[in-house]
Amino acid sequence: MSFVSKKSALRVTVAAVAMASFALTAPQASAVEAVPAAGGVQISAAADATTRAVVKAQPVAAAATANLCGAGYELTFAEQLPDSRRFGTLFTYRKEGVGSCAVFDNNLGTAKYMKLKICETSKPRPAGTPRPCQTDEGNFSQYAGPVRVNDVCGEVTAVMKSNNIAIIDRVRLVPPCK
């Protein structure tokens, strides 16, 4: 099965579980939050208070998105976007010696255009050579990602549009950036 097919199958599984448990979720809860947690989320010692508050408020979503990244990743950052209205939540995870992983959770429950991109920023590149990036974009009702960058400083961009207007447009660095 190709990566795209596996990803599509995972989205279908997440959607099916979400639909089955929709009546049990909050009105603005994401379908990813409906997936049962597979253990606790490892939170990086460097995670800020905002990240810890998001995990406390959305523990199942944090666990589900961590599972998308894979075993051994620690949550480094979580942010409700664009603000407390929480149209989406950006999660970034890091696995020492491997790299960073990001997932952009759609909390609206309806398909929106979403783009999640992560690019290497710290390695010097010859002039005119593009930075290595990984992007996931399309109309998603669940999440965009996961996208990964090697164990270098990276920049993640999360965009969500409604009626062709950006309702979320966030860019931030991911560890191990200083």
Closest CA to 11 of 66, 71, 81, 68: 68
% residues pLDDT > 70 (the chain): 77
Only one residue has tokens 């407390």, namely 84
Query: What is the reported pTM?
Result: 0.76
- The DSSP symbol for 177 reads -
User: pLDDT tens across 127-165, in order?
Assistant: 777 788 999 999 999 999 999 998 888 899 999 999 999
Helix 49-57 with 59-69: angle, nearest 10 deg: 100
**Structure tokens that stand for 147 in this block:** 């996208």
Given a cut of 80, is residue 39 above it in pLDDT? no
DSSP 108: S
